[in-house]
Structures are given as structure tokens and as C-alpha cells.
Amino acid sequence: MRRPTIRDLAQAAGVSVATVNRILSGTVSVRPKTVQRVQSAAEEIGFYGIGAIDDRAKKLSPHHRFGFLLQQSTRELYKLFGKKIIAACRDRRDEIVEPIVEFVDLLTPETISSRLIALGDTCDVVGVIAPDHPIIGQAIRSLKEMGKPVVAYITDQSAPERAAYVGTDNWKLGRTAAFLIAQTTQGPGRIAVFIGNHRYQCQDVSDASFRSYLREHAPRLTVEESRPTHEESSEAYRMVAELLKTTDDLVGILIVGGGITGVLRALREVPAKRRAGIKLVCRDIGPDTRKGLSEGMITAALCHPLEATSALLVQTMIDVIGPQAPVATLQRSIPFEIVTPENI
């Protein structure tokens, strides 16, 4: 097969041979969009000089340093979030984005705030998953004054100085969870709700809308007060195990925070017949959730589509920096996925 020539590349990209030569030599200025068009054409036809064109495109592309503050380095779900965010940064074609992904294990507002400020010192913009707390809000305010926008990811912040929110519509998510439990249970029964922390907006909104739907459509079901797991599986295990010992009318569990591993552990300790009568709905999907789904223990997981959400997060962070950044706070929702044992 004949190797593509410079003339072939020029024709495929819709530019002159002289323009391709200028890009390859790197000695004359060429518009970035033209370089990107030639770069795409070179990849498509398998041009031998793609390495030189890629290098030229990188030199002409804007360079950014993005910080991402996630939670709990020991949790597989957050590790997966981090990997998908890095991939989304590297997939950018019009910019060079250097991702700095850090994890917070001690989830106190003071720790999160100090880590947020530290990331902002070295990055152009910061994406953060964090509870909504005045101390964290002050850190967001301080970073804005430094010209460093903060984008709330997965769970929103009330600080008006935040630049944007990227995540799912949590009101719809909670009502969907309630719909699933109402449709898969019969007769009266008790529903237990577990959240990570009352200060996570995504969890609090999901909790409220879950109750709203059941009051409206399934008053036969009694929803207990929310129990915080503090994002700890051991705490979730302790509470579910106690609940299973002291009640015989439990028909549903909603868990919208961390601790699914503990919930599943407690359910595995009861007879299969009892377990089958308890419908479990959770958020997002890691290895333990996937296993629970495959075993039929989880009725549904309501999940962020990680690739699409990560790409939207990175795009939003690009949109909120620079002279063209919007004045108003951006609110960007992405539809959640419903994963069941039958479509996993």
C-alpha cells in the first residue's frame, strides 16, 4: 500500500502543500485551528509525520493545570472517578490539560478547606467533591478572590462564589429510587434511608425527593429517619445489622452515600428468603456494587455515566477560566444511568 504523501495530507485537510510544510518545519506561524485540522487528517490517512504534527499542535495549544479534590483514597469508586477525570483531560484536543488529582481521607471541613486552598495556589481552576459547609464556602470565596474558580462536582455547594456545578439532577434521582422501591414491593412495610452526611447536598436532595414521592404515591410504606454512615462501611454494617435484628417489616433500603459494602455484608448474614424481600437501591457503581448487582441483592444503582460526566466536568472547567468566562454560576446536569442486575 502506497504511503500517504504531503500532497495527500494537504488534500485531505483542505489546505495547501505549503501550509503542511510550514507545520512540519515548525519555523513559521500557523493558526492553531489549521494545525488541528491537519492533525486530524494525518491521523485519518495514516500520515508518517504525525509525531511532528502532534508536537506542533501541543506547542500551539493553550496549557492549563486543573486541580481535582476527591474523597477517600481507599474507596474504589473515588479511584475510578480519578482515573476517568485524568482520561478526560488527556482526551482534550484543543488544549493541553495537566490534571492534579488529590484525595482527602480526613473528611473534616477544616482539612478539605486547607487542601482546596493549596490546590488553588498551583492550579488554574479546581473541581471538588465536598460537603456544603461554611468553612468550605469561605475557601471557595477566597479562591475566587485569587482568580481561581471552583467547580462543584457530583454534589453542589451553596457558596455563591462557586463557578459551576456538574452532576446529576438529584431531585429526579431520589424520586426515581422511590418509584423503583414502590413498584417492586407489595403491602405495607418499612424503608430505611442511609446517607453519608447531612451536609452533602446531593444526598439531602435525593433523600427529600425520595420521601416526597412515597408520600404521594405509596403511603403504605413508612420511611424511617435518615441515618448517616459518615461514608464508613463499618458504620453502615453496624446500623443495618441492628435494623435486621430489631425489625421484621423492613422491605426497602435506600443508600445515597458511602457504605454500600457494609450494607451488603449485613444482608448476606440473613437468610436468603428474608434478603429477597428487601429491595435495595444505591448510587453509583464500584466493584462491590457490581458484585451486589450480579448477585441480585441490589435492585438498582443510579449512576453517573463516568466518561460523560468527567468530560463535562473538564469542559466546564475550561469554560469558567479566561476572559470569556460567564458571570453567572453554571449549572450543568447530566442524566443518570439506571443499572440493574439484568443490564449490568
pLDDT in tens, the chain (344 residues): 678 888 988 898 899 988 888 888 876 777 777 877 888 888 888 888 888 877 777 776 788 999 999 999 988 889 999 999 999 998 887 788 999 999 999 999 999 999 999 999 999 999 999 999 999 999 999 999 999 999 999 999 999 999 999 999 999 999 999 999 999 999 999 999 999 988 999 999 999 999 999 999 999 999 999 999 998 999 999 999 999 999 999 999 999 998 999 999 999 999 999 999 999 999 988 889 999 999 999 999 999 999 999 999 999 999 999 777 888 899 999 999 999 999 98
Specify if 259 maps to a domain.
yes
pLDDT in tens, 252-262: 999 999 899 99
| Shared-domain flag, residues 214 and 325 | no
CA dist 61 and 92 (Å) reads 10
Q: Among the three residues 60, 75, 93, which one is the final residue of a domain in this structure? A: 60
CA dist 70 and 152 (Å) reads 11
Specify if 70 maps to a domain.
yes
**Which residue segment(s) compose the domain that 156 sits in?**
63-168+306-335
CA dist 285 and 287 (Å) reads 7
Cα-Cα end-to-end distance for the chain: 43
- Model pLDDT, residue 22: 85
pTM comes to: 0.84
| Shared-domain flag, residues 67 and 127 | yes
Residue 153 main-chain phi, psi, to 5 deg: -125, 130
> What are the cell numbers at 236?
453502615
Specify if 343 maps to a domain.
no
CATH number at residue 74: 3.40.50.2300
The CA-based angle 225-192-80, given to 5 degrees, is: 110
- Residue 333 near residue 173, CB atoms below 8 Å: no
Q: Which helix (H) or strand (E) holds 172?
A: helix 170-184
CA dist 34 and 279 (Å) reads 56
Please state the domain count of the chain: 3
Query: What is the CB-side half-sphere exposure of residue 187 using CA atoms within 13 A?
Result: 6
Q: Among the three residues 45, 60, 75, which one is the final residue of a domain in this structure? A: 60
| Shared-domain flag, residues 192 and 283 | yes
| Shared-domain flag, residues 327 and 292 | no
Specify if 298 maps to a domain.
yes
> What are the cell numbers at 216?
404521594
| Shared-domain flag, residues 145 and 205 | no
Alpha carbon distances (Å) from 27 to 21, 23, 184, 206, 232? 10, 8, 67, 57, 57
| Shared-domain flag, residues 298 and 180 | yes
